[in-house]
Amino acid sequence: MKKFLYNLNSGRNSKFNAYARGLKNKLIPRWFLAACIKKNINQIQNSDEYDYIQSRVNYYNKLQKTRSPISLGEAPQCVGNFKHHKRQLMYYIDLNSVIKGFPKECEYKAIFGDNVEIPDVPSFVKSRPIVDNNDNAVILKLNSVRHFNFVDNDIPYSQKENKVIFRGKVHQKHRLDFFEKYFDNPLFDLGDTSHKPKHNNSDWLKEKQTLKEQLKNKFILCIEGNDTSTSLKWVMSSNSIAVMPRPKYETWFMEGTLIPNVHYIEIASDYSDAQEKINYYIEHESEALAIIENAHKFVNQFKNKTRERLIGWLVANKYFSITSGKEIFTK
């Protein structure tokens, strides 16, 4: 019953809606999607947002044109025979919504799940390291039902508790280190929601909290997990502030473009200054409110569904054109 009530009120995206979206896309004929892609790509040249859209396309897809096709290694997939795996259904739904309208013979590689390495060949990924020479990792908006959850209404910052909250699985060493350092500190409300904890500290284990419950606090810890922090998107859309070290990985959210202490509160990678930083922003509310305003502006660029779909198509079009050595849908 507890699990049912939590799922009902969690505040997270509904998987049912994602399934419905996937079914709808599956029923749309390829020729119709191809016509939509071609029409939208042709119109973008005259758009007032052309430079902005192109900058995002080139951020996600850093591949450069070459004189000949780029090898995709052994056994690349074709758009025409793309099949899903039940354990990766959300990735399938999102990828299929982008590539279905492209020619069936278009080949690609895709890496589903938490990707923390640079692929050997150009591949569609959900996440990639924030490093130089990560060109082969071409980002698409994958597993969006989990990673792209925004808060539309929230209580004012001034009505929240002066605390830092975290609820999540604590499997990785860097999360364990934070708990070791701050679990007993009254400024931090930390809880491990793991079913199979990687430690022997029973006090750390706590029930999950809904987004509404967590958002009663001014500060929310957004330490990365296996790759990026899933909570970062909804926290930055709220009237609470994300607290984290500088990110090492990025997704469609472009975490690599976030500015420390402008979009989030940056703490040291060894967490040594976390209490000092939080106390500073408790005492300097105007600076905290400025971070919230900047975070909202950053989040707003991802809320235009029509533009987001177009950017995804353009990322894929650039990928297929460069790897095949021929233009697919020309601008």
DSSP letter string, 192-245: E--SS-SSS-GGGB-----HHHHTTEEEEE----SSS-TTHHHHHTTTSEEEES
Contact of 207 with 2, CB cutoff 8 Å? yes
For residue 156 the two structure tokens come to 């004012």
**DSSP reduced 3-state for 138:** strand
Average pLDDT over residues 82-107: 88
pLDDT tens track for 97-124: 999 999 999 999 999 989 999 999 999 9
Q: What is the pLDDT of residue 320?
A: 96
SS3 content of the chain, % helix, strand, coil (to 5): 45, 15, 45
CB 214 within 8 A of CB 165: yes
- As beta bridge partners, residue 137 has 123
pLDDT band for position 230 (50/70/90)? very high
**What is the percentage of the chain residues whose pLDDT exceeds 90?**
77
d(CA 236, CA 188): 19
Cβ neighbors of 280 (< 8 A, separation 6 or more) are none
Kindly tell me if the per-residue pLDDT of 20 is higher than 70: yes
Q: What average pLDDT does the segment 235-243 reach?
A: 98
